[in-house]
Chain A
Amino acid sequence: MYYNVINAWAFWYLFHSFQNPLPWAACPLNSNHTGYIEECEKASSTQYFWYRKTLNISPSIEENGSIQWEQAMCLILAWLTVYLCILRGTESTGKVVYLTASLPYLVLIIYLIKALTLHGAVNGLVYMFTPKLEQLANPKAWINAATQIFFSLGLGFGSLIAFASYNEPNNNCEKHAIIVSLINSTTSVFASIVTFSIYGFKATFNYENCLNKAMLLLTNAFDLEEGFLTADNLNHMKEQLMATHPNEYVELLPQIKNCSLEAELDTAVQGTGLAFIVYSEAIKNMEVSQLYSVLYFFMLLMLGIGSMLGNTAAILTPLTDSKFLSTHLPKEVISGIVCFINCIVGLTFTMEAGNYWFDIFNDYAATLSLLLIVLVEIIAVCYVYGLRRFEKDLHLMIGHKLSWYWKIMWAFASPLLIISLFIFYITDYILTGTLQYQAWDATQGHLVTKDYPSYALAVIGLLVASSTMCIPLGALAIFIKRRLKREHRSTVA
């Protein structure tokens, strides 16, 4: 439900990429045309475009504001696109996925070629491939990596089960499992090479900008000859100036920032920040930026729609398979109703405080409940249904016996890993105390940390509880049904 807002943003940026110059390339002018808008000066033009023009974000989660009609229209368009793809059920979804899965690879290859030729890309690649031992020793890094693989494979969402239910029984699922995992990991590495090249380009660009600004400041303040200060002699000259003109230098000191390439590369971002701010900043500095921008946001759109198709198929398949609904309503109407309800609820994310609610959903709705679902799945299959029965079923399906590797992984290694991840997350939540979020401060031009108000905490609790409660509630419902059937049989007999 909340995920389609990302597609709405991707649509927004895609439509705005057809302008020359790109709207996030320069700051807009203020009302009397003497300078730039203050918020844009303090932050950067890409951040201004994201926080003000796209989201029109309010300073905190309490101030809800009104629905942004442009975002609402993009959201409706995104849901219409999803409806178009799942309208006919999985046969049509299968054909669409050919497109949404292969086009991103094409765009990634184009970007790889472009990114490797950018100035400063090598810095990013060197940064990526040099192991940072203190980071590797931190267990949090490994846990984040495990979580990332977990989510990128789409386990626990139900989409894998939904798609697999349309397969034939003699489908070689063992081979497919290996192929999917390998392709997933290779694609991650490939995408991160592209990402880090672009990152290196952006970091080098910002670093050189910072150096130029510092040099200009010093040149203007001390009326030195142009070109006197270069990147190499800057530090040496700074000391010299400090010695010869101590008073004026001290005055300038707060304005001169220490520029460091390492610091620029270390500012790691992820999620919506990376996709919409960092990448658009890198794109605006390339030549023919409109083309690269269109390609990039089109690729984001394809990926987002692909994920949405999986999620929506996971919801729709049980609904269309249930006899009650499919006899009363045709498939198209069921899909339409599901899309419509989700669209209406999703309009809350287009309000001014919508991004804060989106972050709540993104961080808390999925993590714990997915871990729990997958843990219950694996325990149910291995221990409740019985590993031997499962092994026999698989032997029937794929024609040869399972190797011991799978058995050990399913019975011991995977449950242990998932339980440890689960325990880690719970302890993390307990230890951090009150949860905080990043709010955009328009007057200062950067993010500030704020505490969640009580009703937001209540919503978070409700989210986590409702998704984890489904399994026990379902078990309870079946238990009650069986009890009633048994009583009915005993009264009849």
Chain B
Amino acid sequence: MRGFLLLAFSLVTTAHAEFCSPDSQNAFKVRLSIKTALGDNAYAWDASEEYLFKAMVAFAMRRYSSQKTTQISNVLLCNVTDRVSFWFVVTDSSKNATTVPRGEVEAAIRMTRNRINNAFLLNDKTMQFLKISSTLPPPTESSVPIWLVVFGVVLCLIVAGILFLIVSGIQQRKKKNKEPAETKNLEEKCEVTVTIENGMPCDTLNLKTGQINGGYEADDERFTPL
């Protein structure tokens, strides 16, 4: 009896070792970065946490295919290191001495990845299932690109400014054209004869500094026209 039990026990342990070892078929490596994620609130990885992990994987398998009844004892962990990383494999209790195929485990984990992460207060980066690709969240995109909105606003402002300046320029020019012709003639005479006095044109002297000598102003009237 005892011998039989011993034999069974040794068989189970060797089976355990057979199923769960690094790089064995249908086994996955998990890597946790608890200190990176939680800092001072990091918890220590012990047997209770391992139990929780087994429970979560069993939960994932149950969620994925409702026929299978995966027990916690079906999930085997091994090679736990200080990193915290370990290998796990899920055995199939309905078929003796086999492990659940890789694809099924992967699909199950992917489906409930969020729940598993939250159970350990980690995320996809700090709880890595190597060789199981995670679905990255799609970026938030609004229906109308925001930059087009800002572009439209600025464009409208600038076009409005241009139109305003052009229209006011045209109006100013119309007002100038209506002024009496006398002032226009005087300006024309000033432009035609630009007398240079000491290297500077006369009109700047007239308008900015100095005084106009009234005696010389009505020069053209002294001479009788031909």
Is the Cβ of B154 less than 8 Å from the Cβ of A77? yes
CA distance A278 to B151 in the complex (A): 24
- The dominant DSSP class at the B interface is helix
Instruction: Tell me the chain A residues, 378-393 only, with Cβ under 8 Å from chain B.
Output: 393
Is the Cβ of A15 less than 8 Å from the Cβ of B162? no
Is the Cβ of A18 less than 8 Å from the Cβ of B150? yes
B225 within 8 A of A: no
A33 within 8 A of B: yes
Is the Cβ of A34 less than 8 Å from the Cβ of B169? no
CA distance A83 to B169 in the complex (A): 14
Is the Cβ of A80 less than 8 Å from the Cβ of B158? yes
CA distance A73 to B159 in the complex (A): 14
B11 within 8 A of A: no
A232 within 8 A of B: no
CA distance A3 to B82 in the complex (A): 59
CA distance A207 to B140 in the complex (A): 30
Is the Cβ of B138 less than 8 Å from the Cβ of A29? yes
A11 partner residues in chain B, CB cutoff 8 A: 151, 154
A87 partner residues in chain B, CB cutoff 8 A: 162, 165-166, 169
B3 within 8 A of A: no
Residue of B nearest to A89 (CB): B169
A34 partner residues in chain B, CB cutoff 8 A: 133-136
- State how many residues of chain B have any CB contact under 8 Å with chain A: 36
B186 within 8 A of A: no
B146 partner residues in chain A, CB cutoff 8 A: 15-16, 18-19
B214 within 8 A of A: no
Is the Cβ of B169 less than 8 Å from the Cβ of A88? yes
Q: Given the interface contacts A224-B83, A332-B166, does A33 sit within 8 Å of B155 by beta carbon?
A: no
A28 within 8 A of B: yes
B161 within 8 A of A: yes
Cβ proximity bits A56-90 to B, threshold 8 Å, 1 near / 0 not:
00000000000000000110010011011001100
Among the 9-residue stretches B12-20, B27-35, B66-74, B88-96, the one with 4 or more Cβ atoms under 8 Å from chain A is B27-35
CA distance A226 to B84 in the complex (A): 8
A35 within 8 A of B: yes
Is the Cβ of A77 less than 8 Å from the Cβ of B158? yes
Residue of B nearest to A222 (CB): B83
CA distance A224 to B35 in the complex (A): 13
In the complex, what's the smallest C-beta–C-beta distance from B24 to chain A, in angstroms? 17
Is the Cβ of A219 less than 8 Å from the Cβ of B83? yes
A225 within 8 A of B: yes
Residue of A nearest to B166 (CB): A332
Instruction: Tell me the chain A residues, 312-344 only, with Cβ under 8 Å from chain B.
Output: 330, 332
Residue among A11, A224, A226, A330 with most chain B CB within 10 A: A226
Cβ proximity bits A2-15 to B, threshold 8 Å, 1 near / 0 not:
00000000011011
Is the Cβ of A226 less than 8 Å from the Cβ of B35? yes
Query: Of B36, B83, B165, B200, which one neighbours A88 at CB under 8 angstroms?
Result: B165
A287 within 8 A of B: no
Is the Cβ of A77 less than 8 Å from the Cβ of B33? no
B162 partner residues in chain A, CB cutoff 8 A: 80, 83-84, 87
Is the Cβ of B169 less than 8 Å from the Cβ of A223? no
Is the Cβ of B138 less than 8 Å from the Cβ of A33? yes
B85 within 8 A of A: yes
In the complex, what's the smallest C-beta–C-beta distance from B81 to chain A, in angstroms? 4
CA distance A74 to B158 in the complex (A): 13
Residue of A nearest to B81 (CB): A223
Is the Cβ of B158 less than 8 Å from the Cβ of A226? no
Is the Cβ of B136 less than 8 Å from the Cβ of A29? yes
Residue of A nearest to B161 (CB): A84
Residue of B nearest to A19 (CB): B146
A84 partner residues in chain B, CB cutoff 8 A: 158, 161-162, 165
Is the Cβ of A220 less than 8 Å from the Cβ of B151? no
In the complex, what's the smallest C-beta–C-beta distance from B113 to chain A, in angstroms? 13
Cβ proximity bits B134-165 to A, threshold 8 Å, 1 near / 0 not:
11101100000011101100110011011001
Is the Cβ of A15 less than 8 Å from the Cβ of B166? no
Residue of B nearest to A78 (CB): B158
Query: Of A14, A92, A223, A330, which one neighbours B82 at CB under 8 angstroms?
Result: A223
Is the Cβ of A220 less than 8 Å from the Cβ of B200? no
A168 within 8 A of B: yes
Is the Cβ of A18 less than 8 Å from the Cβ of B147? yes
B85 partner residues in chain A, CB cutoff 8 A: 220, 223
Is the Cβ of B83 less than 8 Å from the Cβ of A16? no
B36 partner residues in chain A, CB cutoff 8 A: 226
A246 within 8 A of B: no
CA distance A410 to B46 in the complex (A): 83
B-side residues, CB < 8 A to A, are 31, 33-36, 81-85, 133-136, 138-139, 146-148, 150-151, 154-155, 158-159, 161-162, 165-166, 169, 173, 198-200, 204, 208
With A80-B159, A169-B204, A220-B83 already in contact, 20 other A-B pairs whose C-beta atoms are closer than 8 Å? A12-B147, A18-B150, A33-B135, A34-B133, A35-B136, A36-B136, A77-B151, A80-B155, A80-B158, A80-B162, A83-B162, A84-B162, A87-B162, A220-B85, A223-B82, A224-B82, A225-B82, A226-B33, A332-B166, A396-B199
List 28 A-B residue pairs with CB atoms under 8 Å apart, sorted by A's residue number. A11-B154, A14-B150, A15-B151, A16-B147, A18-B147, A29-B138, A34-B133, A34-B136, A35-B136, A73-B151, A80-B159, A80-B162, A84-B165, A87-B165, A87-B166, A92-B165, A168-B204, A169-B200, A220-B83, A223-B82, A226-B34, A226-B35, A226-B36, A226-B83, A226-B84, A330-B173, A332-B166, A396-B199
A-side residues, CB < 8 A to B, are 11-12, 14-16, 18-19, 26, 28-29, 33-36, 73-74, 77, 80-81, 83-84, 87-88, 92, 168-169, 219-220, 223-227, 330, 332, 393, 396
Closest 10 interchain pairs by CB? A15-B147, A223-B81, A225-B82, A223-B83, A226-B35, A15-B150, A34-B133, A87-B165, A16-B147, A80-B158
